[in-house]
Each structure stands twice: as structure tokens, then as C-alpha cells.
Structure 1
Amino acid sequence: MSHTAHIPSHRKPRRSASKTALRAGVAGGVLSTIAVAGAAGPAQAEPVAQTIEMPTITAGLSTSVAASAQATQAVALDLETQATEDAAAATAAKTAKKAKAEAVRKAEARKKAEAAAEAKAQEAAERASRSAERTTLSASTGSSDSASSSSSSSSSATGSAASVVAFAQSQVGDAYVSGGTGPNSWDCSGLVQAAFRTVGVDLPRVSQSQSTAGTQVSLDNLQPGDILYWGGAGSAYHVGIYVGGGQFVGAQNSSTGVVQKSLDYDPPSGAVRVL
């Protein structure tokens, strides 16, 4: 044993150096070499060198930092996704609210339109009823005149023409119905066709064709039984039958029905003679 082994001043520096080297190895993650001299061996023995490899903590720290960054990124992504979903939900709710309001507005507009249409239809029905009443009154007050004119026109008509005139006059007061062909409701061409069918003449069904079914005649040279038309020949929109005495019979419209009127009431455009 060395004669200085028990002297504290010789042993303390070696122990302090070992601790310093150990701390340096832990903090820096490097390999430290600590030379340990055999304190118990003879003074002549060679010192023993021992290498201690200290663990490197840098790699573990990097992994921990990377994991933390990854977790932070995941949280941020979740937050962004949640924000996107919340925004989409808010937009959808706003759109649904707007669509509901629009549907309510349209429903109210539709109700108003239906109410207006119903009121308009009722007004039209009342107006038609008043017009029909006026027509009835007019027909009753002018019945004597019509009777006299009918007798005079019938007396001037002969043969088949007289039959056509008599049939037409017998329908006065019937209703006007578009497409009507009798026996109690007529449209203009349906009445003319039925009147001529009583004498075996089969006329076309519509006004346009009836206005060219015979020989064109002047309105100054009319005879009972002639077909009167309104509009152009071949494109007429209305027809009637001349019954003599400056009068005609026709299914005018839904307000008047079948009437006998003076030519001045509604002057025709032309006339054709079939008989």
C-alpha cells in the first residue's frame, strides 16, 4: 500500500474528478473515459483503465418531441374538422330556414291567388246571371215584335227554307254551350247544322267550313234560309241563319243563348246560299 493512501488530500481529488466526468457524460451524451487507479494495489502496479459508455438521451428526446408535435397536429386537424362540420351545419340550418320561409311565402301567395280566382269566378257567375235575367226580360218585352216579324218572315219563306227558318226560331231561348249540338243547348255552327239537317242538307260542323258551303251572296240580296257569317269566308268565327225581315237567329254566346235579332244588332260580314 502506498504511504499516501490514507491521506485525505490525495484521495479527494480522484473522487471529485470521477463525479465530474460522470456528470459530463450524462449531460452531453458522449462517451467518457474514466481512468481508475487501483487504490488498494501496490504502488508499482499499473493503473487500470475502465471505459464507461453513458446512454445518449438526445434520440429519446427527439422521439418525444416528434410525438408531441404529431399529437398537436392531430388535435389541430380535429379542431379544423370540427370547425368545418360546424360551419356546414350552420349553413345547412340557414338554408333550411330560408327554404321554409320561401315555402311559407309561396303557400300564402297560392292561397291568395286561389281566393282571388274564386272571387273572380263568383263575380263572373253573378254577372252572367244578371245578363241572363236582362236577356229574359228583353225577350219577353219584345216577344210581340218577334212574333210579328216571325210571321212575316215565315210567310216569305217557302219550301225547305221555311223549314230551316222554323227550326231555328223554335230554338230561341235555348242555352249557348260551346260544342253544343242540341236539343236544348247549342253553339252557333251546331244550330245551323241541325237546322239544315231537317231538310236533308248535311253541312260541315264548324263555322269556317259553313261560310263556304254554298254560293256567296250579297247582304243586300238576302233570302230566308241564307247562312250569315262573321269574319272572312273560310275563316269565319261565327254563323247564323237569316230568317227574313232584316233579322237573324243565332246561338250568340253564353250570356244571351239563342236569340233572334236585327242585323243591326251585329252586322254580318257575308252570306252564302245553300238552298
Structure 2
Amino acid sequence: MSHTAHIRSHRKPRRSASTIAMRAGVAGGVLSTLAVAGASGSANAAEPVTQTLELPTLTADLAAQVAQSADVTQQAAASYQLQAERDAAAAKAAKQAKTDLAEAKKKAAEAKKKAAEAKKKAEEAERKEAAERASRAAERTTLSASSDTGSSSTGTDSSTSTSTSTATGSAAAVVSFVQAQVGKAYVSGATGPSAYDCSGLVQAAFKQVGISLPRVSQAQSTAGTQVGLDNLQPGDILYWGGAGSAYHVGVYVGGGMFVGAQNSSTGVVEKPLSYDPPSGAVRVL
């Protein structure tokens, strides 16, 4: 045995290459980790950390509430719009109503003015007609009085007047004559040619055709055959008052018209029968 066999060697045992490589790998990995960590720490130190908030997830009930709220908002907006439209329509209608009212008031004022003018004209016409009636009545009273004074001297003429025959065309001649006298003056007791009273005009007209009539209206009203007012012919003598007591006479000229010496206001005129409806008529032609 060697004298050195029992002495332990101070030399370390040899490690295998794989072990050395593994240790080197581990060490490198550790260093790499540290390097990354260091770099990460430097980066974290340089940049602020941003925190992310997670939004709550909508549940079914919350979604329904949101939808309902949206509907309510939409309905409110529609209601406001409808109200605005109604307000605008009401304002327009009020403005139109105001305009219509003003127009109606204007038309009413015009109608009132026209009615007042028409009433005034009607009153004037009525006053004029009343004055004419009064004048005719007064004139008839005068004629009646004058006829009474002359009745005794003309009483015999009535019998001869009915016996006098007429020639063909005499009625036309009588009508033509009296119409030619229209516009001439009325003078009580006048027999022409520039002025007449009522019986003087009738007497002068029939004298043109050869018929002699009494001078006064009372006698002239019975000088011929009595005829109805619905059966008149041109040339018939019209009278006012009773037959035999007439206070006014005239000549029917046809077409619902007569000619008479009415009064001092009108003179000899041609008027419709409605102007002064007669009481009766006699026919001598």
C-alpha cells in the first residue's frame, strides 16, 4: 500500500459538462429575469398606471325602464308639438274671427245707413202722396161745391147726351185729345184751351167728336151707360163718388191709365188707375 493512499486529495471532483451547462443556463435565466424586471420597473416608474373601470351590464328590467323612459320623453315631445300647433291654430282662428267681426260690423253699418236712407225716402214719398191725396180731396170738395151750383142749369143735358150717337173712331179721338192736354194747368171752372177743371176737360174732349156732355161731374157720371171697372174701354168716363153725386171725373185711355185734370198742384196728368181708383164709369161712345 502506498503511503499516500490514505490521504484525501484536495482536488475537487470534476463536474460534468452537462452540469456546468445547466448551471450556466439557470444563471443566465436568472440574470435575464432580473434584467426584464429591472427594465419593467424602469418603465413602470416612467409611465403612469391607467385604471380600467368595468361598466355594469344592463339587465332586462333596466333595459325596459330605459325604453319606457325614452317612450315617455318622445310622447312628451309630441304632446308639446301638438299643443304648439293647437295654440298656433287658435291664434290664427282668433285673428280671422277678429277680421270677420270687423267686416261684419262694417257691413252692418252700411246696411243700417242704407236702411235709414230708404226709410227717409219712403217717408218723403209717403208725405208727398199724403199731400197729393189731401190736395185731391180739397179739390174734389171744391168741384163738388161748384157742381152743386150748376146742377139746375145742366139737368136737362143728361137726357140728350145718351141719345147722341158716336162716329167710328170717336173713342180714339177723345183719347188723343185728352192726352194732348197733359201738362196744362188746372183752374176751377176752366174749359180750355190753356187750362181745365176735371169736368171741363171731359166736356171739351167729347165736344171734339160732336157729343155734348153736361158741364159738371155729377151730371157727367150719369151721362151714359154704367159699366164695370173690370170692363173698361178707351173713351169711357170715370167718376169718383156716387153716380149722380160724383165730385170728380176723368177719361179712361186704355192700358190701365186715365187722364184727368186733377188739381192745381198737378194740373192735367196721365196716371194709372191705382193712383186714384175711381168709383165707377159710364160709356157714351
Structure 1 length normalisation: TM-score?
A: 0.43
Structure with the larger RCO, 1 or 2 (CA within 8 Å, 6+ apart):
2
Structure number with greater Rg is 2
Structure 2 length normalisation: TM-score?
A: 0.41
More strand per residue: 1
